[in-house]
Amino acid sequence: MMNIELRGTAAAHGWPAPGCRCASCGRLRAAGVRYEPLSVVIDGVPLEDLPRRDVPGGHEVRGPGGGRVLVAAGPGLRPEPAPGVEYEAVLLDLAGSPEHLGYLRHVRAVTPRSQVVAVHIDHRLPSPAELDRRTAFWNRPADGPFRTLLLGGSRSGKSAEAELRLAACPDVLYVATGPVRDDDPEWAERVAAHRVRRPAWWRTAETTDLTGVLESAEGPVLVDGIGTWLAAAMDEADAWDDPSRARPLLDGLVSAWRDTAARVVAVSDEVGLSLVPSTASGRAFRDLLGLLNQRLAGESEETALVVAGRVTELG
């Protein structure tokens, strides 16, 4: 294996950046920690002394042993791989573009044999610990079974966290369980924002048959979200006046969640922190969703709560 020595991994001005007053840089200064600008030695030779070929977004270098390395030229840049090349290592801006790792895996430029190194790190990350947290699930095998339930309130950042956790996967099935509302411009704007944020090579299924998806899927699946699925299930079972009618559908979903072979990340609304709904149907929905969240969490390897874009692991 190629020996990669990292003497510096930060962006051009280092981290913390000189004179920067952001919270990220402030935390590092207070801790007396500094990450130096990018400096890499490959098999004993400095990166800048290796033979290189420029590519859009960066360059490709050859190590002393002949192995190829793809390098991002700076923050926000996504180096294009050469057709048909499997890289021995990639040095990427994972802080800003983790989905590019997913793309490189999608086109097979990065394989399980490739070394993946985060470079150009800077104050786009709140802390070094956050980079460690993210790289842990970016390096996780794409296949399941593995279940993650993300809970949070409206605009908490739970959907963005779900997408982040699967960003480095080569192929993701995005399951949108919400209805298509062509007559609601605000809803259409939300849906469009989610589509733009997702990598172009992800597949999308707009369906309420979540049980069927979980029974047949094997690779990474993102479900957004459980609350809209439940609303559709209550419609299907005519359960708004009698919530017990929806119980068989909930039982089927929990069974499929428990038995799935997929790596699933699902988003659901945390309903226990809001006001008590003023209508009987609203209370019925809240009670069923709270119960469903508990049951899914009990069958999940990971459960987390997202608040103001910050994540607390619940176990």
Q: Which of 138, 165, 199 is the last residue of a domain?
A: 138
Are residues 159 and 259 located together in one domain of the fold? yes
Q: Residue 49: which domain range?
A: 4-138
Are residues 173 and 260 located together in one domain of the fold? yes
Residue 190 pLDDT level (bands cut at 50, 70, 90):
low
Are residues 158 and 259 located together in one domain of the fold? yes
For 60-105, write each residue's pLDDT tens digit.
999 999 999 999 999 999 999 999 999 999 999 999 999 999 999 9
Are residues 46 and 67 located together in one domain of the fold? yes
Are residues 189 and 258 located together in one domain of the fold? yes
Query: Residue 272's pLDDT is what?
Result: 80
- pTM for this model (two decimals): 0.91
Are residues 151 and 59 located together in one domain of the fold? no
Residue 182 pLDDT level (bands cut at 50, 70, 90):
low
Query: Residue 127's pLDDT is what?
Result: 96
- Residue 222 near residue 162 (C-beta atoms within 8 A): yes
What is the mean pLDDT of the segment spanning 4-32?
97
Mean pLDDT over each residue of the chain, to the nearest integer: 94
Are residues 198 and 81 located together in one domain of the fold? no
What is the mean pLDDT of the segment spanning 172-192?
73
What is the mean pLDDT of the segment spanning 114-128?
97
Q: Which of 116, 138, 160 is the last residue of a domain?
A: 138
For 232-249, write each residue's pLDDT tens digit.
999 999 999 999 999 999
Count of domains observed in the chain: 2
Residue 178 has pLDDT above 60, yes or no: yes
Between 275 and 173, the higher pLDDT residue: 173
Contacts of 31 (CB under 8 A, 6+ apart): none
Query: Residue 278's pLDDT is what?
Result: 82
Taking alpha carbons only, the member of 46, 48, 114, 125 closest to residue 81 is: 114
What is the mean pLDDT of the segment spanning 135-152?
95
User: What CATH code is carried by the domain that includes residue 275?
Assistant: 3.40.50.300
Query: Whole-angstrom distance between the N-terminal and C-terminal Cα of the chain?
Result: 35
Which of the residues are catalytic?
A: 194
Query: Residue 13's pLDDT is what?
Result: 95
Q: What DSSP string runs through the chain?
A: ---EEEEE-B-TT-BSPTT--SHHHHHHHHHT--BPBPEEEETTEEGGGS-EEEETTEEEEE-TTS-EEEEE-STT--PPPPTTPPPSEEEE-TTT-HHHHHHHHHTTSS-TTSEEEE-SB-TTSS-HHHHHHHHHHHSS-S-SSEEEEEEE-TTSSHHHHHHHHTTT-S--EEEE-SPP-TT-HHHHHHHHHHHHHS-TT-EEEE-S-HHHHHHH--SEEEEE-HHHHHHHHHHHTT-SS-GGGGHHHHHHHHHHHHH--SEEEEEEE--TTSPPPSSHHHHHHHHHHHHHHHHHHHT-SEEEEEETTEEEE--
- Residue 32 near residue 145 (C-beta atoms within 8 A): no
| Range with lowest mean pLDDT among 117-131, 167-181, 217-231, 243-257 | 167-181
Are residues 131 and 153 located together in one domain of the fold? no
Paired sense of beta strands 115-118 and 45-46, if any: unpaired
Are residues 109 and 59 located together in one domain of the fold? yes
Q: Which of 103, 119, 138 is the last residue of a domain?
A: 138
Query: Residue 277's pLDDT is what?
Result: 81
What is the mean pLDDT of the segment spanning 253-263?
98
What is the mean pLDDT of the segment spanning 280-302?
96
Are residues 302 and 205 located together in one domain of the fold? yes
Are residues 299 and 228 located together in one domain of the fold? yes
Residue 133 has pLDDT above 70, yes or no: yes
Query: Residue 199's pLDDT is what?
Result: 87
Are residues 91 and 224 located together in one domain of the fold? no
